[in-house]
Amino acid sequence: GTTGTQKTLFRMSQNAANQMGKLATALMAGGCGIIATSACLFKVDAGQRAIKFDKIRGIREKVYGEGLHFNIPLLQRPIIYDVRCKAREMKTRSGTKDQQDVLIKLRVLHRPITEKLPELYDRYGLDYDERILPSIGNEILKAVLAQYNAEELITCRSEVSAKIRENMAKKATEQFGLIFDDISLTDLQFSPEYMHAVEMKQVEQQEAERRQHLVQLAERKKEAGIVQASGEAESAAVIGRALEKYGKGLIDLRAIEAQKEIIKAVVQNPGIQFVPHGVNMFLPSASGPGTGPISRTQSK
């Protein structure tokens, strides 16, 4: 009995050990399969594109979009690109057509052409923007600035910006495989000496305009005086002809009209009072209460 029981327990322990070994083997095989599977796949997220580098054949021409894609471990390596639009500020200092020093700043929105990613990586790598954009910016900006005077850069700013945008976009697309969605001219800075000269010119221009206004005002006054003198001369001639024709009657008529205007002004003045003829009016004298004669005013 005891020996039979021990044999039974021994067989059971052996079976359990065999099962555990099989399970461990299965788990190891499954883990290795998962690792191998994950090593054979790569993921491309939204806003990204991928190309492959093959150790035997080099950069592959195919461009991979979003999703999971197959990859041969140790032989192939995926290269992920962010193809979303990115902003970059560019600036350069150059001379204008009239030899004025100017600092110009641009804001550029750029992205790569997805079909040209293999060529872009082969020539410039992942940091293509650090290599390409400064080169394009310096060349185009200096070429455009040299076509304008400093004053024209201010007065024709929209034209300058459009020419920079056209030239940069054309060069980036044709030679480097980039797309410029927007190029904005953000700032123009001139030397302090030039800015001082511009301010002095504005002051002189304003002073010249003020002097011109004074001259025009004097001319208008002169013309008005000439017109007035001409009118007075003509009026005197008319009066002279009237005197010759009617004698002093015209002068008497004008005197009566003037007297009427004087009487009208006196009547409307509240500080003047009329006293009836023959009436004595008395005011308090300076020595105290009493009466004293005042001059008599006649009303006609």
Q: What is the pLDDT along the chain (300 residues), one digit of tens a residue?
A: 556 666 666 666 666 666 666 666 655 655 555 555 667 888 899 989 999 998 888 889 999 999 988 888 888 889 999 999 999 998 888 888 888 888 889 899 999 999 999 999 999 988 888 889 888 888 898 899 889 888 888 888 889 889 999 999 999 998 999 999 988 888 888 877 776 766 677 677 778 888 888 888 888 888 887 877 777 777 777 777 766 676 666 667 677 777 787 877 777 777 766 666 665 555 444 444 444 444 444 433
> Is pTM beyond 0.85 here?
no
Of the candidates 157, 146, 142, the residue with the CA atom closest to the CA atom of residue 188: 157
Least Cα distance to 276 among 249, 298, 244 occurs for 298
Q: What are phi and psi of 112, to 5 degrees?
A: -80, 155
Q: How many residues does the chain have?
A: 300
Please give the Cα distance from 164 to 182 (Å, whole number).
11
**pLDDT at site 285:** 46
CA distance 76 to 40: 9
* Distances 235 to 117, 230, 231, 238, 242 between C-alpha atoms, Å: 95, 9, 6, 5, 11
Whole-number pLDDT of residue 295: 43
